[in-house]
Chain A
Amino acid sequence: MIPKSYIQALAKKNTRHDGRRFDEFRQPVTVEYGVSAKSAEGSAKVTMGDTVVVAGVKMEFGQTYPDTPDEGSIMVSAELLPLSSPEYEGGPPTIEAIELSRVVDRGIRESKALDFKKLCVRSGEKMWIVMIDIYPLNAAGNLFDAAALAAIAALKNARFPKVEDDKVIYKEPTDVPLPLSFMPVSCTVFKIGDKFLVDPTRDEELAADARLTVAFTEDGDICAMQKGGDKPLLQNEIFAMVDLASLRAAELRKSL
């Protein structure tokens, strides 16, 4: 492990332990579709440098919610597998896993990228629930951005399964994609000292004071945010971070 103080000292000197610029993502950034095509309705694997994350979509019928009788729904879960890092242990979802899944959920839900109305099967009765499960295979920093990218890629890859007599026939996929009108993409900016950087390694993450995750629509509008870390941010810092995130998110979008 690289000491926190060393990473902070490097940041002060405008450099990073792996020699990257502050606004530079680890390479390669790749998206592979259909990695669980036999089992999942949609799936994708995202690689960001050493970080590898998979996401899969399962579709199930459920009862519509009383407050939104004409809409379907999504459910996002993330599990920080002990397979992916010596830091993680088995057991119920940790608070880190819950925050990760909630931030990804909001990026998709609040952007209205997925048309929930079209996921309603019968008003007041039956809806599709789109269940997205996210797992790191190798957790080496910046899980937020990798997880959000994997989730949206899995949604893009997903096809409705066949329905017969109101039952889902999972082994027969159709060629109907999900009602995804565009793809929101997130970028997280980390603050170390008075410097801002993207795509941290795990050691950089542990040395950071605060982070800001910003999800963008295809037009560059902001559709979800989450501040993390226990140090405060000033208003002008937040706008600087949003600007940096916006540039990098546009870059990340190209890998989809």
Chain B
Amino acid sequence: MAYTRTDRALNELRPMEAKVGVIKNARGSAMFKIGKTIAYAAVYGPREMHPKFMQNVERGTLRCNYNMMAFSGSGNRVRPGPSRRSREIGLVTQNALAPVIDLTEYPKTVVDVFIELLQTDAGTRCAGICAASLALADAGFKMKDLVCAVSCGVVGDTPVVDLDYSEESYEGGAVDIPIAVIPRTGEITLLQLDGVLSKEQLQKAVTLAKHGIDKIYEVQKAALRAKFTGGK
């Protein structure tokens, strides 16, 4: 089934907004908005890891927690508390961010990243990763780079980047591929895929995503500059 995107180009991301230092109590924090999806992230620690047997004597541990606010879903109220879905997203978020952060100075501790979704219109894990990587940078940890994430995929037969909810739930079928990238090296730190597509379509979709990543990187860097260098 052919799909025509009317509100933007196929390689165009939804409008983005990013801000760091939005949660005063946290060591680092950020808000990342893409289209109508709004993610907040806060970083606490390094603090002592409990239970003790989980302590790593060589370096600090990064721990990510993803949560949707009860009213932030597209249908009924989301039941509060961790679900299998949210725990899995916490895990893949952790794996997406761990390669860029150096916690060797903080053995036996944990650095907690909490991600909360205030409003959702698909692409929540990617928005969460973008916010979390900004929050870690805001907290001042040693990092190789930021991490940028966006979903790409195929709606109907059409390869697109940054699917919104109406596209993700398109009745002609959709494939959703969230990707996270370390922009400086091009390394991919998160890759998931739901749906069926050909190798050629995957290639096209991923190429679109890589292009989108650069745009996200610019927005993230501008947000950090706005706080730390007064926008310069």
Contact = CB atoms under 8 A, between A and B. Distances in A.
A143 interface: no
Contacts of A131: 70-71, 77
Interface string A203-241: 000000000000000000000000000000000000000
Given A83-B40, A138-B23, A54 B69 contact: yes
Interface string A119-155: 0000000000001010101111000000000000000
A63 interface: no
B94 interface: no
Contacts of A81: 67, 114, 116
Interface residues of A, number: 34
A86 B69 contact: no
Nearest to A38: B36
Query: For the complex, would chain B's binding face be called helix, strand, loop or mixed by DSSP majority?
Result: loop
A75 to B, nearest CB: 9
Given A36-B118, A39-B119, A138-B24, A133 B69 contact: yes
Interface residues of B, number: 34
A131 B22 CA distance: 27
A86 B26 CA distance: 7
Interface in A172-211: none
A30 interface: no
A118 B144 CA distance: 58
B114 A58 contact: no
Contacts of A135: 69, 116
20 contacts: A38-B119, A39-B74, A39-B119, A40-B72, A56-B69, A58-B76, A60-B76, A60-B77, A77-B80, A81-B116, A83-B23, A83-B42, A83-B115, A84-B23, A84-B25, A86-B26, A138-B25, A139-B25, A140-B24, A171-B74
